[in-house]
């Protein structure tokens, strides 16, 4: 077809190495996240459940500067700022040198992510606007995809998934996270204070200047980052926004003679902390859905819960697939030979695993309504489990083909540590 181009092609060798390293950290983090959430769920619904609730609501921090916060809030506002800093670093990499740096390659995953955010939100709104006791406040909840949880599913059921599909899932999730943080900043922040916000902007300017001037001392960056977080927290905009902005301001191209860029150095150091500590602790603090009073049946039959479940389980795959397919048709793009549209559909189902950011938005949307908060959280857990199981089936259906592609991508007959497909005259 005239003017057509290929999408979801195999990434370059350098991108492949970086991608697989990043995904390994996220996979381990996903397992820890699931374990932490399970412990919280069991604990809060045990005879000792009140002690869990007391722990989450235990206030610590300096009251003089307004930071005497419950541990649950510290996890959401503090630890998730680390997570979003890593998201910002990854997004900056993708925009500058990765899969989003070339418009022809970026448009399909970006459209898939957009569809995967819009359709679930519309389903949630449709459900809650048409049912008695509906509440539209949580429309942003089913927009989020949890890359760590999704990769934990892949580690069990999709270990031989082609690298291009893994890259597509990562790009989808990173763009998705950017959309979610924008939604949080615009729609789920309150009591906006312009002076504090301007102070946060000043810290971002100092950070950007330090990057431009090639300053490297943590004695500068750590205080600037902490002040940016604090000022953003006091401004009324959710503090996690500071994390993603700092990530986006970090230099991603290495200078001549520089082994790796500041973004890559920080990613290597902070990503394990984010995936292995920050996100699992947040999951532990946020996933404790107390079903002792309302019961599981009541929790998941509330309009809020129905909207979340339908949004994640149905809306995500529909939105991801339609976004990608319509954009590919409009731009006359074709999939790489080893990838089929049913693979995109499977990734869309897997994208319905919404956890970390979905729980955060639920807490922001329903912090003043315990019944709806518990219903939303229970629905997130239930929908993520259903999406994971459906994704496992979808991935298994293509397991033989994926195994063949995996073997081709990893064959190293000459034993030099470089897959042979990257040493062919025209590696695809």
Classify domain 6-189+238-410 at the CATH topology level: Na+/H+ antiporter like fold (1.20.1530)
What are the distances in angstroms from CA 370 to CA 47, 353, 365, 373? 20, 23, 11, 5
pLDDT digit string (tens) for the chain, length 428 residues: 344 567 777 788 888 888 888 888 888 888 999 999 999 999 999 999 999 999 999 999 999 998 999 999 999 999 999 999 999 999 999 889 887 888 877 888 889 999 999 999 999 999 999 988 889 999 999 998 888 888 888 877 877 888 888 888 888 888 888 888 899 988 988 788 999 999 999 999 999 999 999 999 999 999 999 999 999 999 999 999 999 999 999 999 999 988 889 999 999 999 999 999 999 999 999 988 887 766 677 777 889 999 999 999 999 999 999 999 999 888 887 888 888 899 999 999 999 998 888 999 999 999 888 888 989 998 999 999 999 999 999 988 888 888 888 888 788 777 777 887 777 765 55
The Cα 307–Cα 141 span in angstroms is 9
What are the distances in angstroms from CA 135 to CA 20, 126, 358, 375, 376? 41, 11, 16, 12, 11
The Cα 165–Cα 168 span in angstroms is 5
Contact present, 241 and 201 (Cβ < 8 Å): no
Residue 231, judged by CB atoms within 10 A of its CB (0-12, 13-18, 19+), counts as buried
Q: Would the pTM count as exceeding 0.75?
A: yes
CA Rg value for the chain:
22
Which residues does 265 contact at the CB level (< 8 Å), separation at least 6? Answer: none
Q: Where are the alpha helices (DSSP H) in 249-334?
A: 262-273, 279-286, 295-301, 303-310, 316-330
The Cα 9–Cα 394 span in angstroms is 21
């Amino acid at each position: 077809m005239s003017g057509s181009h290929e999408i979801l092609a195999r990434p370059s060798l350098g991108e492949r190495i970086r991608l697989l390293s990043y995904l390994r950290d996220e996979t381990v983090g996903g397992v820890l996240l699931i374990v932490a959430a399970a412990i919280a769920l069991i604990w809060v619904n045990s005879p000792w459940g009140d002690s869990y609730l007391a722990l989450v609501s235990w206030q610590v921090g300096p009251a003089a500067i307004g930071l005497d916060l419950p541990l649950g809030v510290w996890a959401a506002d503090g630890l998730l700022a680390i997570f979003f800093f890593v998201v910002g670093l990854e997004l900056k990499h993708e925009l500058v040198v990765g899969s989003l740096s070339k418009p022809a390659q970026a448009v399909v995953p970006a459209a898939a992510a957009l569809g995967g955010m819009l359709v679930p939100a519309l389903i949630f709104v449709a459900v809650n606007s048409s049912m008695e006791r509906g509440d539209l406040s949580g429309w942003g909840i089913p927009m989020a995809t949890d890359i760590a949880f999704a990769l934990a599913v892949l580690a069990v059921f999709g270990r031989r998934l082609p690298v291009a599909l893994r890259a597509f899932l990562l790009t989808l999730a990173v763009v998705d996270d950017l959309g979610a943080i924008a939604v949080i900043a615009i729609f789920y922040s309150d009591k906006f204070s312009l002076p504090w916000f301007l102070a946060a902007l000043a810290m971002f300017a100092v950070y950007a200047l330090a990057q431009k001037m090639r300053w490297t001392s943590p004695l500068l960056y750590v205080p600037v980052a902490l002040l940016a977080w604090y000022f953003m927290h006091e401004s009324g905009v959710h503090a996690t926004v500071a994390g993603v902005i700092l990530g986006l301001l970090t230099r991603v191209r290495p200078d001549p003679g520089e082994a790796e860029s500041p973004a890559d150095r920080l990613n290597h150091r902070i990503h394990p902390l984010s995936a292995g500590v920050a996100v699992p602790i947040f999951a532990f603090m946020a996933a404790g859905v107390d079903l002792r009073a309302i019961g599981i049946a009541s929790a998941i039959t509330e309009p809020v819960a129905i909207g979340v479940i339908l949004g994640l389980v149905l809306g995500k795959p529909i939105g991801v697939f339609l976004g990608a397919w319509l954009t590919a048709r409009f731009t006359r793009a074709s999939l790489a030979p080893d990838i089929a549209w049913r693979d995109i559909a499977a990734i869309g189902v897997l994208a319905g695993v919404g956890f970390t950011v979905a729980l955060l938005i639920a807490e922001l949307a329903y912090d003043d309504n315990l019944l709806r908060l518990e219903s939303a959280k229970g629905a997130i857990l239930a929908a993520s489990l259903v999406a994971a199981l459906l994704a496992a089936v979808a991935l298994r259906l293509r397991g033989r083909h994926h195994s063949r592609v995996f073997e081709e991508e990893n064959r190293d007959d000459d034993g030099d540590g470089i897959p042979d497909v990257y040493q062919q005259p025209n590696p695809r």
